[in-house]
Structure formats: structure tokens, C-alpha cells
Amino acid sequence: MSQVAVVQMNSQADVLYNMGEARLMVREAAECGAQLVLLPEMFLTLDGSQFQALADDDGWVKQLSQWAREFGIWLVAGAVPQNSPDGDPRVRSACLVFDHRGHQVARYDKIHLFDVDVGDTQGSYKESRRFAPGNELVVIDSPVGKLGLSICFDVRFPEQYQALTAAGAEVLLVPAAFTHKTGQVHWQTLLTARAVENQCYIVAADQCGWHDDKRQTWGHSCVIDPWGKVLTMAG
């Protein structure tokens, strides 16, 4: 039986600290027998002022490759800043997939950007100020089945997942940094709906807790089967 792991994090401004925490949990997941490990959205940091510098530095990408090779797993870096291939001065929110040899085998750029006003402490989220949208769907073979890649706000757009399933996806990955306010009412409902309507497994890794004095995320990372049964869920 295939085993997957979701990593739930409370990423702060310190990228090196976040990388250390991520590595510890990736190693633990591998030691527990996971063949594929999913990290949450922006696990490096949610501090937008650092995104461009991270996109310009491939050192941490090499580290992720090394982890995959060292632990013999498929590693999915939920969403990280990457430069736009079309010359747009904004970065893209990119999901990177590394195989067990450490080779980067896929990249998906987030299509639906979170430009939303939310009645929480932060109030307004305008991802398009820093991010350019992607425009391509990605399905890739893996040891746990065909993966359909997505990121966070994508989960509110069922047609994207229908297209991924039509392209052969069997496991839908949803790395996220879902707000606490919307997460408590919509997170599990949306994930369950995507699982049931597409008859696919959902593997969702979310950020959790307070990241600064304004931003709070929901957590409750989970794996849901095609019948909508929650197989495992974090707090």
C-alpha cells in the first residue's frame, strides 16, 4: 500500500529556521515509510518582502533536491516563489516536485490568485501584487499514482480539478496557507467536495497558527479518500 505524508507548519519570517523545521518533519515522514511528502504553501516563509530574493536564489531548491535523494522519497515543495518564465516582474507561486533521485520532475504555477477581502485581522489579501498567475495544468506520474497539482485558492474552482481528473489524475495535491477565518467554515467542505466529485484522493498540507501579528492560518492538514472519508487530519 502506498503511503503519503502531509507536513503542517507554522512558518515564521526566518527562512533558515523554517527550512530546519521542514527538514526534521520530512525526515520523520520518510522514517515512518512515506513514499511521498507534501509541504505546505510558502513553507519557506509567508513574509512577502523576501519572495523576490528567494526566487533569485536556487540554493534552497538544491537543498530540497538533496532531501529527496537523501531520504529516498518524492518531495513536493507545496508552493515557493519562482521567477516568471515570461518576463513578468512579479514572481510566481510554484509547486515543485522532486523524485527520489532528487530530480525536479514537475513545476506547477498557481493559476487562481487570492485577491480577497476577509473579515480577519489582516483584512485584505492581494496576491496579484507580488505574484503573476500561471496558465498550465500539471499531471505527473508518481509511485503513489498520477498526481494532479494545485495550490490553496485553486480549491474553490472545481473545473480545475475536473480537468486534472480528465487528464488522468488519481491523487489531488492541495498545499495551502488557508486563512483561519475561512478555513474553519470552508476548508474541509471544499476538500471533501473535490474528492467526491472527482473520485480522487485529496492530500492537503496547510499552514497553521499565527505567522505575525496579523496573519493566522487554519491548519487541519488532511488526507481524504474518494468517498469523502477523512483518513487522517492534523489539528
Give the chain's domains with CATH numbers: 4-233 (3.60.110.10)
* Model pLDDT, residue 144: 98
pLDDT tens string 192-231: 999 999 999 999 999 999 999 999 999 999 999 999 999 9
* Model pLDDT, residue 214: 92
Global pTM value: 0.97
* Model pLDDT, residue 119: 87
pLDDT tens string 108-151: 999 999 999 988 888 889 999 999 999 999 999 999 999 999 99
Residues 6 or more apart whose Cβ sits within 8 Å of residue 85: none
* Model pLDDT, residue 1: 76
Which of 95, 127, 152, 170 is labelled catalytic?
152
Reported confidence tier of residue 36, pLDDT bands at 50, 70, 90:
very high
Instruction: Give buried/exposed letters for 193-203 (b at 16+ CB in 10 A, else e).
Output: bbbbebebbbb
110 is catalytic: yes
The angle subtended at Cα 79 by Cα 75 and Cα 83, nearest 5°, is 115
- Tell me: pLDDT of 234 over 90: yes
Percentage above 70 pLDDT, the chain: 100
What is the spatial distance between Cα 151 and Cα 46, in angstroms, rounded to a whole number? Answer: 14
- Tell me: pLDDT of 79 over 90: yes
What is the spatial distance between Cα 187 and Cα 194, in angstroms, rounded to a whole number? Answer: 11
Which of 95, 110, 208, 222 is labelled catalytic?
110
Other CB atoms within 10 Å distance of the CB of residue 167 = 12
* Model pLDDT, residue 222: 98
152 is catalytic: yes
Which of 41, 127, 208, 222 is labelled catalytic?
41
The predicted model gives 160-166 an average pLDDT of 98
Label each residue of 147-215 as H, E or C: EEECCHHHHHCHHHHHHHHHCCCCEEEEEECCEHHHHHHHHHHHHHHHHHHHCCEEEEEEEEEECCCCC
